[in-house]
Chains A and B, each alone.
Chain A
Amino acid sequence: MGLRGIQRAATTIAIVALATACSTAATDDTTSTTSGVDPFAAQPLPDASILGTEVGSFVLPDASDDDTPFAIRADDDQLLLVYFGFTTCPDVCPTTLADVRTAFGGLEDDADMVDFAMITIDPDRDSGDLLTQYVQFYVDGAHALRTDDEDALRSVADAFDVSYDVVTLADGTIEVQHSGYLYAVDDAGIIRTSWAFGAEPEAIAGELVALLRS
Chain B
Amino acid sequence: MTDVPRIRLITFSAAVALLLAACTGGANDLTIDDVWARSTPPGAETAAFYMHITGGDDDNTLLGATSPVCGMAEIHETTETDGTMSMAPVQGGIPIPAGETVMLEPGGFHVMCMGLVEPLVAGDEVLVELQFESGERSTVEASVTDDEMSGDMDHDH
Chain A interface residues toward B at CB < 8 A: 3, 6-7, 10-11, 13-15, 17-18, 21-23, 25-26, 29, 31-40, 43-44, 47, 87-92, 94-95, 98-99, 101-102, 129-130, 133-135, 137-138, 163, 175-181, 196-198, 200
Q: A39-B105, A197-B107 are in contact. Are A137 and B42 (CB under 8 A)?
A: yes
Q: How far is the CA of A133 from the CA of B41 in the complex (A)?
A: 7
Q: A14-B19, A18-B18 are in contact. Are A26 and B12 (CB under 8 A)?
A: no
Contact B80 A39, beta carbon cutoff 8 Å:
yes
Contact B113 A32, beta carbon cutoff 8 Å:
no
Contact with A along B78-115 (1 / 0, CB 8 A): 11101111111000001001011111111111101110
The smallest beta-carbon distance between B46 and chain A, in angstroms, is 4
Contact B19 A179, beta carbon cutoff 8 Å:
no
Among A14, A40, A129, point to the contact of B107 (Cβ < 8 A).
A40
Q: How far is the CA of A209 from the CA of B94 in the complex (A)?
A: 41
Q: Which residues of B contact A135 (CB under 8 A)?
A: 41
Contact A14 B100, beta carbon cutoff 8 Å:
no
Q: How far is the CA of A95 from the CA of B8 in the complex (A)?
A: 44
Contact A90 B110, beta carbon cutoff 8 Å:
yes
Q: How far is the CA of A26 from the CA of B101 in the complex (A)?
A: 9
Contact A18 B85, beta carbon cutoff 8 Å:
no
Contact A47 B83, beta carbon cutoff 8 Å:
yes
The smallest beta-carbon distance between A140 and chain B, in angstroms, is 13
Contact A179 B103, beta carbon cutoff 8 Å:
no
Contact B146 A98, beta carbon cutoff 8 Å:
yes
- Chain B's interface size range is 35 or more
Q: Which residues of B contact A89 (CB under 8 A)?
A: 46
Contact A26 B33, beta carbon cutoff 8 Å:
yes
Contact B112 A3, beta carbon cutoff 8 Å:
no
Among A11, A15, A95, A134, point to the contact of B44 (Cβ < 8 A).
A134
Contact A33 B19, beta carbon cutoff 8 Å:
no
Q: How far is the CA of A34 from the CA of B84 in the complex (A)?
A: 26
Q: How far is the CA of A49 from the CA of B5 in the complex (A)?
A: 73
B1 interface contact, C-beta 8 A: no
Q: Which residues of A contact B31 (CB under 8 A)?
A: 22-23, 25-26
B48 interface contact, C-beta 8 A: yes
Q: Which residues of A contact B87 (CB under 8 A)?
A: 90-92, 175-176
